[in-house]
Structure 1
Amino acid sequence: MEVPKSLLFFVLAAATLSVAAAYDPLDPNGNITIKWDVMSWTPDGYVAMVTINNYQMYRHIMSPGYTLGWTWARREVIWSMVGAQATEQGDCSRFKGNIPHCCKRTPAVVDLLPGVPYNQQIANCCRGGVIPAYGQDPAAAVAAFQVSVGQAGTTNRTVKLPKNFTLLGPGPGYTCGPAKVVPSTVFLTPDRRRKTQALMTWNVTCTYSQHLASKYPSCCVSFSSFYNDTIIPCPKCACGCEHKPCVRSERDTKRLAVTGKHTDHSHGRQHATAAAMLQCTTHMCPVRVHWHVKLNYKEYWRAKISIANFNYRMNYTGWTLVAQHPNLDNITEVFSFDYKPVVSYGSINDTAMFYGLKYFNDQLMEAGPHGNVQSEVLMRKDARTFTFKQGWAFPRKVYFNGDECQMPPPDSYPFLPNAAPAIAAAASASSLVAAVASLVVLFLMGCA
């Protein structure tokens, strides 16, 4: 019996849904590009300018900053660095007199902290490895350092490109491709009247996967509305509850600092830990985003966005929040947050990026009385699509610091008081579709 092509397509689409979830359609071209520009040759190698460009629209590298690593192709060493440093010197015992900065075959490099002496600085260095998102601050979305490499080739033909690049920012999640030689970078002299050119340039592209970074989400979303008294909380254990220590109050964190132990209220055990210290919640997420449908006007409606930090050991500096909703293309005013549209599909503008005002609320403080920021968004109604029915007023996706947050189940959204029968009917229809899909899969397996 021949299986209809449309039915087969439906089954294949369902089977590949989990794979597609690893792809971020809101920032399809986001990446971090590492560029090596060989600026001059030395007796035994070269001097290169290394630039780390963050082309991700809403994902930044936050404190404690980036760690860039690689494997040398031969026995290269780092004689000196400006604007960064290797975390380990390695075994330099074979050298007499002038000792290299780093002799490890797999060096790991970090940015310098602010305030280092001027002769150790270079443009776009010395920010503790923090690199803002390109969509948030394009001019600052770059880091750089200078490195003098020895025991390497001294011409374009003899230089061997480093291999196995790794990028931590500050945790895992990035995968880097191989270094590729590209056309040499062209520079303008300080007076901008003359062009100079790098002797050799190669690029490395690194992309981020939330699934590689963590088994669980790092944030969750809760909902409420003016037309329904029900508050829809974050899903239980949204960020995982497996063996996660937690504390009930700030007093518990002070006790931990003195004794090194605390009571894990989620499991009734004591732990000595240096891990992130979360406030005990049902969702066990470091960050919760709450979307409240606040007011309804004749031509406008207003939503309130609140972000709460439940981590007693983390300040989120330069945080970003991204929300996807069809009415975000009609934002009239945003109160106490900065805002930029994120256009991901040519002309479709249904996504907005929010971030804090400089020196006001751009730092989300650790858990406690000040561990939250909030704003309100005023949107003009679209007469063709606007409705409060069936959860339309709530976002489709929410990201915090570039990671997608766990949303409540769609059938749990606050509904209009007179929409209860419609919600129940929709839930029944959804269950029927799931049952039919299961029967189709079983049928196809039988045919095979």
Structure 2
Amino acid sequence: MLARVELVGTQFGVGSPDIPLPASLRIANDGFSCTSPSVQGNVTQVCCFKDSNAPPSFELEDQEIFQPLQNGDISIMYDVIRSYESNYLAQVTISNQNPISRLDYWHLSWEWMRDEFINTMRGAYPFIVDTNECIYGRQGEFYQDLDFSAALNCERRPVIIDLPLDRTNDTSLGRIPFCCRNGTILPPTMDPTRSASIFQMQVYKMPPDLNRTQLTPPQNWRINGTNSPDYQCGPPVRVNPTLFPNPEGLSSETVAIASWQVVCNISRSKSESPKCCVSFSSFNNESVIPCNTCACGCKPDPSDMCSATTQALLLPSQALLIPFDNRTKLAEEFSRNNNWKMPDPLPCPDYCGVSINWHLLSDFKDGWSARMTVFNWGETDFADWFAAVQLDNAMPGFEQAYSFNGTALSGTHHTLFIQGLPGLNYIVAERDGKNPRKDPRVPGSQQSVVSFTKKTAPGINVIHGDGYPTKVYFNGEECSLPSMLPSDGHGISAKSVLIYLIASFVTVFLQL
């Protein structure tokens, strides 16, 4: 892209011996680099080329057209709330806008484009405190009187993490609204007051940006978390200055000096494996359709000769409550009693840290019910857990979840949002049984019955598909679903599976 700028001497006095020509020219906000001026008569010409590597530069006195705020899975606001000649105070707000996704132990990073560095912070902290690049670089030469031992980070790409809860009222690091959640950002459908994180930082600038109005946001933003989806972030976009409540508590608002928005959306690759899986069972079928073989990816072990392609074995219901390695005896006995041939080699495990059993409990003329059980086979406890269950045709008939807090997800007609009740919102990790020497390990679990009516969902066929989820999410991660239903002809009798699950579940609690 090429731009030509002409300065006519009769209008601007260019070429007059009293007014020197500029050595170079720069077009603000567009990242143009310009050649030295050339004079032909009373016209001075300057050629400017678009520099793709140059970051946009913003002069606050420019009458810029602000873009409207955009929606995304994550919205990040970069607000300058105070500005000085050599530094400014920025407030960063991370907001979760996805109704069924969350971030745990979030890590936020960006790239400084004009040698900025972080001097102080409140509400968050650099993952690495490092000022060597400043001490040995241009920053140290320019800010010779600045104590860099008290500064925080001079990396071109700093990584920022949240502070623990006990720093909330820390007079030097905390006391910022929505700070210090230990990196957890919940979905707004679960708790709007915990769906955002905020921190502030003092950013020092370098020449030639030493004036109050020369402000450039960092570029190339990234955000991720532990057991959280991957996000793809767009560039910062200049938006209308954010309005903040008056810090003195007055009935007025304070306007940010400048504001940019970064929108990040979940990016899932086709090769990415789920982290949870679902099994199906029904009152009219004795066998359980387990999680698929290698549902969460296969982890080949030379000493374990299992098959990654063999279909998972149908199981008796009591097998759901013991680890996969202890199920072989039950599966063999179950197959032998039903004259089924055991495959050789046996199928590999599902390798999922979380499994969810959806069991059709009853089906009557006017209504039906299901029981949902969440098993935690991993090594990490789940605090403030939640799940989302998509029922394409049956959801209009939802009535109540008895041991969970179940609500219809706002804006949809087919998704049930589920979370633990107060005091039951914590699922512990897998642990030893009552007698570790002979008892198998025990998963952490939560269970509830969910009831539905057919009056507002007439014509549904519960047993043959409408009573089973078409999608299930746990803590924002989509789970793997079985490849068949209990009604697909793979069962053996109409003997109820209810007695087995209740007896087994009671056994687990007796061992605690």
TM-score bin (small chain): 0.7 to 0.9
Contact 1:76 1:103 in 2 (8 A): yes
Contact 1:220 1:288 in 2 (8 A): yes
1:59 is the counterpart of 2:101: yes
Match in the other structure for 2:446: 373
SS in 1 for 2:183: coil
SS in 1 for 2:215: coil
Match in the other structure for 2:87: 45
1:29 to partner: Cα distance: 5.8
Contact 2:224 2:230 in 1 (8 A): yes
1:71 is the counterpart of 2:71: no
1:154 to partner: Cα distance: 5.5
Structure 2 Cα separation of the partners of residues 141 and 293 of structure 1: 34
2:245 is aligned, of 188, 192, 200, to 188
Question: Structure 1 residues 385, 417: closer, same or farther in 2, change over 3 A?
Answer: same
Aligned runs of 1:21-420 on 2, under 5 Å?
Answer: 30-62=72-104, 65-90=105-130, 91=132, 92-94=134-136, 95=140, 96=144, 97-99=146-148, 100-116=151-167, 117-121=170-174, 122-152=176-206, 153=209, 157-170=213-226, 173-189=230-246, 190-211=248-269, 215-243=272-300, 280=325, 282-311=349-378, 313-325=379-391, 326-344=393-411, 348-358=412-422, 360-368=423-431, 369=442, 371-382=444-455, 384-409=458-483, 412-415=484-487
Structure 1 Cα separation of the partners of residues 305 and 97 of structure 2: 40
Contact 2:471 2:481 in 1 (8 A): yes
Superposed CA RMSD: 2.6
Larger mean Cα displacement after TM superposition, 335-344 or 202-211: 335-344
Contact 1:88 1:104 in 2 (8 A): no
1:42 to partner: Cα distance: 2.5
Query: What amino acid maps onto 1:321 in structure 2?
Result: A
1:350 to partner: Cα distance: 1.2
Larger mean Cα displacement after TM superposition, 162-171 or 47-56: 162-171
SS in 1 for 2:406: strand
1:416 to partner: Cα distance: 8.3
Structure 1 Cα separation of the partners of residues 191 and 469 of structure 2: 25
Question: Structure 1 residues 154, 185: closer, same or farther in 2, change over 3 A?
Answer: farther
Query: What amino acid maps onto 2:353 in structure 1?
Result: P
- Give ranges in structure 1 of 5+ residues lacking alignment: 1-27, 246-262, 268-277, 421-448
Question: Structure 1 residues 407, 174: closer, same or farther in 2, change over 3 A?
Answer: same
SS in 2 for 1:390: helix
Structure 1 Cα separation of the partners of residues 413 and 374 of structure 2: 23
Structure with greater Cα Rg: 2
Give the alignment's TM-score, normalised by structure 1. 0.74
Structure 2 Cα separation of the partners of residues 163 and 418 of structure 1: 55
1:417 to partner: Cα distance: 7.9
1:156 to partner: Cα distance: 7.0
SS in 1 for 2:394: helix
Structure 1 Cα separation of the partners of residues 303 and 229 of structure 2: 26
Contact 1:53 1:143 in 2 (8 A): yes
Deviations 1:406-437 (A, max 9, x none): 1111xx311288999xxxxxxxxxxxxxxxxx
Deviations 1:66-97 (A, max 9, x none): 11100001110101001111112331324355
1:405 to partner: Cα distance: 1.0
SS in 1 for 2:100: coil
Structure 2 Cα separation of the partners of residues 291 and 69 of structure 1: 39
Matched residue pairs, number? 355
